[in-house]
């Protein structure tokens, strides 16, 4: 943890040891620990070991910190759908590509996705993020419906319930996956995909 | 919502309109809305429309309310393993029985299980409940390991990761299932079991 900057050593741009990204990393940790509502800029300053004005040097408000932190999860999640492999090919394979990519974002951006999944929607910034998340989720639901219509997903399940269950399994990763645990990200990705795809296909 | 009792109408045992169970129902709602730590007995009294002393008439402390509320989830979850169908038969069928029974408890006791799943473990009561939950979870992990050893679960997945993913899917029910939504509890149970069991078996 870098120590607080003193006025005499502070460079013109940013404080030594902190750029916007590392401020964000600390902010998302504190938001996840106490909840966004219960976190004050004073708590963030204490955690960073700097003054409140040093934080305001990087971001104008707590809301901006939240927005930037949520973008760390939402921008890569939204990008998945733009990939060629999400756009063409067999529907079940497009779905598998999207699920694999989602799992990777969850494991790589774990604290930011945790923040997103725990949002309560009390402010405009939160409601905007939840709406962007719903747009991502809706595209997956539409793919499950299409894959079922094309006979690539079992016909004895209701597609909306199935999609929520799938997301329940995938999203649980951010709650229990530990980067220093016994399973590698690749193993977790393969196990999750194996369970979901065979669950979707049913017994052949 | 019953109105507050006045001294002149109060019977000797309990306040009119409230017994311990209805106090618990309100308590678990408020705990889930604000978090246990952030909930005061004053907030509960306000929600109930009674005085704080009226609550103390039913339970000695906020911690006792928490313990009683958690028992509403833990007692039926712990009872599942005592059933004959959890104890004998093919391992994969014992597992299916336990998962079906767990889903039913989650749907029937949704707010109480939500409280259990969101515990942070800050107090002895919370840590005790989390330990009881871990004991339940461990039995399921052991069954998945045994079913895999007996060739009833695919051999290309790691059983501990698989169990966590299964619980991720099942536990997500308390977050998104709505009793007034389009899917009945029976449909949700069948879809969840279909996805998990075929995911566990893999392609035949």
- In tens, the pLDDT along B46-70 reads 999 999 888 888 889 999 999 999 9
The crossing angle, in degrees rounded to 10, of helices A20-34 and A41-48 is 120
Please check whether residue B114 is in contact with residue B27, taking contact to mean a CB–CB distance below 8 angstroms. Answer: no
DSSP line for B51-112 = -HHHHHTT-S-HHHHHHHHHHHHHHHHHHHTTSHHHHSS-HHHHHHHHHHHHHHHHHHTHHH
**How far is Cα B12 from Cα A172, in angstroms, rounded to an integer?**
48
Q: What share of chain B is helix, strand, coil (3-state, %, to 5)?
A: 70, 0, 30
Residue B15 has pLDDT above 80, yes or no: no
Contact of B58 with B113, CB cutoff 8 Å: no
Contact list, B190 vs chain A (CB under 8 Å): 156-157
> Looking at the domain covering A69-201, what would its CATH class be?
mainly alpha
Interchain CB contact of A203 with B (< 8 Å): yes
Indicate yes or no: CB of B195 within 8 angstroms of CB of A168.
no
B162 CB within 8 Å of a chain A CB? yes
Q: Is the pLDDT of residue B5 over 80?
A: no
pLDDT value, residue A7 = 41
A178 touches chain B (CB under 8 A): no
Q: Which CATH number fits domain B1-59: 3.30.200.20, 3.30.930.10, 1.10.10.60, 1.20.1260.10?
A: 1.10.10.60
Q: Which of A89, A122, A121, A101 is nearest to A189 (CA)?
A: A101
Pinpoint the residues of chain A covered by CATH 1.10.10.60.
20-60
- The CATH 1.10.10.60 domain(s) of chain B lie at 1-59
- Which residues on A lie below 8 Å from B171 (Cβ)? 168, 172
Give domain B67-201's CATH architecture: Orthogonal Bundle (1.10)
Is A200 at the interface with chain B, CB within 8 A?
Answer: yes
User: Are A195 and B162 an interchain contact pair (Cβ–Cβ within 8 Å)?
Assistant: yes
Gap from B10 CA to chain A (nearest CA, Å): 39
* Chain A residues lying within 8 Å of B92, measured CB to CB: none
CATH class of A20-60: mainly alpha
A176 in Cβ contact with B164 (< 8 Å): yes
Confidence of residue B17 (pLDDT cuts 50, 70, 90): low
Residues of chain B with CATH 1.10.357.10: 67-201
- Integer angstrom CA distances of residue A141 from A20, A117, A135, B113: 35, 18, 10, 26
User: In chain B, positions 5-64, which contact chain A (CB-CB < 8 Å)?
Assistant: 35, 38
Question: Mean pLDDT across chain A, nearest whole number?
Answer: 90
Per 3-state DSSP, chain A is made up of helix, strand and coil in percentages (nearest 5) of 70, 0, 30
Gap from B32 CA to chain A (nearest CA, Å): 12
Q: Distance (Å) from the C-alpha of residue B204 to the closest C-alpha of chain A?
A: 6
**B18 φ, ψ (degrees, to nearest 5):** -125, 130
B36 burial type by CB count under 10 A (0-12 exposed, 13-18 middle, 19+ buried): buried
Residue A175 CB neighbour total at 10 angstroms? 15
Q: Which among B158, B164, B199 has the least Cβ separation from residue A199?
A: B199
Q: Check: CB of residue A169 under 8 Å from CB of residue A196.
A: yes
Structure pTM? 0.88
Tell me: the pLDDT tens digits for B141-174?
999 999 999 999 999 999 999 999 999 999 999 9
ipTM exceeding 0.90, yes/no: no
Q: A171: which chain B residues are within 8 Å (Cβ-Cβ)?
A: 168, 172
Distance between CA atoms of B90 and B150, rounded to whole angstroms? Answer: 9
- Residues A135-164 have pLDDT tens digits of 999 999 999 999 999 999 999 999 999 999
Which tokens in the block code for residue A79?
A: 């990008």
Number of H helices, E strands in chain A: 11, 0
Report the residue of A106, A137, A164, A171 to disrupt the B interface, i.e. the one with the largest count of B CBs within 10 Å: A164
Residue with the two structure tokens 């209805």:
B22
**Mean pLDDT of the region B110-128:** 94
For A77, phi and psi rounded to 5 degrees?
-65, -40
* CATH 1.10.357.10 residue spans of chain A: 69-201
């Amino acid at each position: 943890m870098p120590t607080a900057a003193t006025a005499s050593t502070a460079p013109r741009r940013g404080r030594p040891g902190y750029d916007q990204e590392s401020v964000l990393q600390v902010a998302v940790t504190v938001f996840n620990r106490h909840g966004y509502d219960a976190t004050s800029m004073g708590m963030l300053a204490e955690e960073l070991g700097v003054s409140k004005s040093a934080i305001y040097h990087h971001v104008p408000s707590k809301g901006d910190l939240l927005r930037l932190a949520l973008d760390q999860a939402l921008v890569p999640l939204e990008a998945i759908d733009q990939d060629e492999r999400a756009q063409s090919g067999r529907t079940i394979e497009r779905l598998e590509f999207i699920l694999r990519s989602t799992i990777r974002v969850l494991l790589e951006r774990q604290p930011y996705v945790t923040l997103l999944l725990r949002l309560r929607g009390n402010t405009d910034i939160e409601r905007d993020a939840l709406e962007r998340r719903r747009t991502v989720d809706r595209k997956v639901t539409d793919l499950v419906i299409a894959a079922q219509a094309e006979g690539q997903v079992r016909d004895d399940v209701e597609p909306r319930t199935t999609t929520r269950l799938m997301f329940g399994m995938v999203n649980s990763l951010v709650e229990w996956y530990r980067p220093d645990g016994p399973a590698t990200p690749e193993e977790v990705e393969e196990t999750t995909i194996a369970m979901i795809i065979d669950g979707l296909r049913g017994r052949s």
